[in-house]
Amino acid sequence: MARLAPLSEEPISEEEGSRTAATRIHSFHNWLKSHLPMLSTKKNDIKILLSVLGCPLSPLSISRKQPRDVASSAQYIIQQFRATTGCSKRGRTAKSMYASGRVWMEMAHEHGLSSSGAASKGHHKGCFVVWQMVPDMWLVELAVSGHQIAAGSDGKVAWRRTPWLGAHAARGGVRPLRRALQGLDPETIAAVLSPAEHIGEKHIGDEECFVLELMVDNSILSSWSDSTAEIIKHRMLGFFSQRSGLLVRLEDTQLTRIQSPGAEAMYWETTIASCIEDYRRVDDLMIAHRGRSTVNLLRFGVGLKDHRVMTQMEERWTIDDVLFNVPGLSVDCFIPPEEVQRSCLYE
C-alpha cells in the first residue's frame, strides 16, 4: 500500500479528490501556485474553508518541561489564568471532556491588495462535536453545508479525514486541536503556553492585555516540511486580560516557501486570529462559549510584486454543551482509521 501524504492544513481544490496520495501532494503545490485566484465559486469555497478552519492543529504540543524561571512575568500570567479558570485547584479529577457547538463560515476573495477587487462571499452553517481524554487523545467531527470532516489523535499521531482526500496522518508529532486552545480547555491552554515569553501589553477591544509569544523551534518546523514546501517560521501570540486574567485573543502566523522543480519560489503567509468570548463556569472551570476567527492567506513571490493575492475567511462559533468525565469514553474511542495505522508516520 502506498504511504499516506502528510496532513495539509492549506486549501485543497476539488480536483485533488480523485487522485492518488502521491499525485495529490505534487498537484497540491502546483495548484497553490496558479489556481487559488480563480476559486471564487461556492462549490470550492466550502472545501477551502474546511481545509483551513475545519480542524487545524496547535503549532506546538503540550510542554512536558517545567519552565526554568518560575518567577518570570510570563509564568505569573499563566498562573493567574490557571487560578481564574479554576484548573489550578487541587483535587481536580476530570479525565475526559465532551463539547458540542455550532459554526458559521464565510469567505471573500480579494484579487490584489492595491485594488478594490471583486469579492465573492459564501455563508455556510454547521455543527461539531469534540471528545477528549486529556491531554493527547482527542476526536472532532464537523459537518458544514453537507460536507463532513473528522480529525483525531490517539496519543501517537494526529490525522484528518475528508471526503475529497480520505484519511491522512499529520507531520510534526501529536499536537492539541486548535479549538481546544480557543477557550475550550484551560488546562491545555496553560500547558501549551507555559514556555511563552512576555513581550509587552496591548489594547484588545475594551481590554488591556498582557501579550505572550511562542516561536516554534526550527527543528519542529523542519519536521513539518517536505521537498517542495518549507515552513520558514511559525509564531503564536496569546493575549490575556489584565482585568480578568482570561485568554481573550489567540493569533498565529505561518510563513511557507513553496517551490516545485523548475518553477519560481512562492511564499504563503497564513495568519489566524481568534477572539475568545463568553466565559461561563462549568463544573468549576471557566469555559469560553463563543468566539470568532479571521484568516488572511497572503500569496507573494518573484514576479508577483504587483499581483499579490489575499484570501480572507471568517468563522464564528458557539458552544452549546460541555461535559466532563464522560461515561464510557475510553482509549478505544480514539483509534485512528486503518489507513493511518498503516502509514509511515504512525510507526
164 band by pLDDT with thresholds 50, 70 and 90: confident
Q: How far apart are CA 229 and CA 126, in angstroms?
A: 31
pLDDT at 227 over 50: yes
pLDDT in tens, 193-210: 988 999 999 999 889 999
**pLDDT of amino acid 135:** 75
Cβ–Cβ under 8 Å, residues 160 and 170: yes
pLDDT in tens, 250-306: 999 999 988 877 778 888 899 999 999 999 999 889 999 999 999 998 888 866 555
86 vs 227: which has the higher pLDDT: 86
Quick one: pLDDT band at residue 23, thresholds 50, 70, 90? Answer: very low
Q: Of 80, 335, 299, whose CA–CA distance to 209 is shortest?
A: 80
Residue 37: band (very low, low, confident or very high) from pLDDT cuts 50, 70, 90: very low
Q: Taking a C-beta distance cutoff of 8 angstroms, is the pair 239, 246 a contact?
A: no
Question: What does the pLDDT read at residue 8?
Answer: 45
Percent of the chain past pLDDT 90, that is, above it, reads: 42
CA distance 137 to 297: 30
Average pLDDT over residues 17-30: 42
Across the chain, the runs of DSSP E, i.e. the strands, are 96-110, 122-133, 137-144, 147-154, 158-162, 166-169, 197-204, 207-215, 229-241, 247-258, 266-282, 285-301, 309-324
Residue of higher predicted confidence among 20 and 258:
258
**Does residue 4 form part of some domain?**
no
Average pLDDT over residues 173-188: 89
Nearest alpha-carbon partner for 249 in 201, 204, 195: 204
pLDDT at 176 over 60: yes
Residue with cell 499525485: 23
Question: 3-state DSSP: the chain helix, strand, coil percent, rounded to 5?
Answer: 20, 40, 35
Mean pLDDT for all residues in the chain:
80
Instruction: Count how many domains the chain has.
Output: 1
Contact in structure between 30 and 259 (CB atoms under 8 Å): no
The parent domain of residue 103 ranges over 14-341
pLDDT of 272 reads: 94
**Structural domain contains residue 307:** yes
Residue 8 lies in a domain: no
Residue with cell 481564574: 84
pLDDT at 114 over 50: no
55: in domain? yes
State the chain's maximal CA–CA distance in angstroms.
60
- Band (pLDDT 50/70/90 cuts) for residue 120 is low
Does residue 7 belong to any structural domain of this protein? no
Q: Which of 274, 267, 259 is nearest to 309 (CA)?
A: 267
Burial class (CB within 10 angstroms; exposed 0-12, middle 13-18, buried 19+) of 14? middle
Q: Answer yes or no: is 1 within a domain.
A: no
Bridge partner residues of 201 (DSSP): 210
Give 47: exposed, middle or buried? Use CB within 10 Å, 0-12, 13-18, 19+. buried
Report yes or no on 6 lying in a domain: no
Can you tell me the mean pLDDT for 52-59?
Answer: 85
In a domain, 40, yes or no: yes
